[in-house]
Chain A
Amino acid sequence: MPLRIRAQAALVIVLAFALAACSRPASTGGATTPGVRVTEVDLGRSLNADKTIGDKTDSFRAADTIYAAVVTEGSSSNAALKARWTYQDGQLVDESVRTIAPAGKATTEFHISKPDGLPTGKYKIEVSVDGASAGTKNFEIK
């Protein structure tokens, strides 16, 4: 009997650990970024003075400069905002990092262009904050 009680106690402990593990948010190992969060990613061909997009679109021509405006909220003394641009099956087009120290709402723009024209096809921009993915946007060059 004592053996059975011990087994039951062990089962309870295992279940408690399992429940605790389930209640944690999924993590990829990176620390969460308490200060800055991305609230919006917009694409377009031109920028306003406040870095927002003048003409939002997800369809571009080869000769266009593609602007991505990333709106963030929150504050941080040093947040790394990264824009990773990829083509079709994931081929890397460009990757840029901008470190910012926002105190409230801010807009950061990233842009790419290619002197001889961007190849037609589907593209994606993925934005991350301090290594944690914060949003993606698809677009197409026609």
Chain B
Amino acid sequence: MGIFDRKDDTPKAKPDFSNVQSGSSSTAPAPTEPTGTTGTTSTSSSATYVVVNGDSLSKIAKREYGDANKWHRIYEANQDIIKDPDLIYPGQTLKIPGA
């Protein structure tokens, strides 16, 4: 009898966390931008994002703006460190312009 018993070896699918919504705020002020820079004058929090494995600009844009097509905004704000928008590296700290 027992020899026909089968263990359920089917691996459980990992949960999908791609639509997790996250955010943050602080009682501490955001760092001030160095003077002399050009570009946006947004007074919203100057967010930064540290690239992790598996990230792409569109993925970060989806997370930050809710729209993957806005990846070019991040690219334009970080052209000093991103030479190719298809190549970003874990550990890079990207500036995230205000939405």
Distance in Å: Cβ of A11 to nearest Cβ of chain B: 41
Q: Point out the residues of chain A lying under 8 angstroms from B30, CB to CB.
A: 99-101
- Quick check: B19 and A100 within 8 Å, CB to CB? no
Distance in Å: Cβ of B97 to nearest Cβ of chain A: 14
**Chain B residue with the shortest CB-CB distance to A51:** B27
**Total A-B pairs, Cβ < 8 A:** 95
**Chain A residue with the shortest CB-CB distance to B93:** A80
Q: Classify the interface of chain A: helix, strand, loop or mixed.
A: strand
Q: Point out the residues of chain A lying under 8 angstroms from B26, CB to CB.
A: 51, 81, 98, 100, 102, 106-109
- Quick check: B20 and A94 within 8 Å, CB to CB? yes
- Quick check: A100 and B50 within 8 Å, CB to CB? no
**Chain A residue with the shortest CB-CB distance to B94:** A97
How far, in angstroms, from A142 to B25 measured CA to CA in the complex? 27
Q: Is A83 an interface residue (CB 8 A)?
A: yes
How far, in angstroms, from A85 to B17 measured CA to CA in the complex? 11
| Interface residues on chain B, size class | 20 to 34
Q: Is B40 an interface residue (CB 8 A)?
A: no
Q: Classify the interface of chain B: helix, strand, loop or mixed.
A: loop
How far, in angstroms, from A87 to B27 measured CA to CA in the complex? 28
- Quick check: B22 and A91 within 8 Å, CB to CB? no
Given known A51-B27, A99-B47, A100-B29, contact A87–B15 (CB-CB < 8 A): yes
- Quick check: A110 and B24 within 8 Å, CB to CB? yes
Number of interface residues of A (CB under 8 A): 37
Q: Is A112 an interface residue (CB 8 A)?
A: yes
Q: Point out the residues of chain B lying under 8 angstroms from A85, CB to CB.
A: 20, 22
Which of A's residues lie within 8 Å of B, judged by CB?
50-51, 72, 77-78, 80-83, 85, 87, 91-103, 106-116, 118-119
Which of B's residues lie within 8 Å of A, judged by CB?
14-15, 17, 19-32, 45-50, 52, 93
- 8 closest A-B pairs by beta carbon, nearest first, are A106-B28, A102-B28, A108-B26, A100-B28, A78-B31, A119-B15, A101-B31, A98-B24
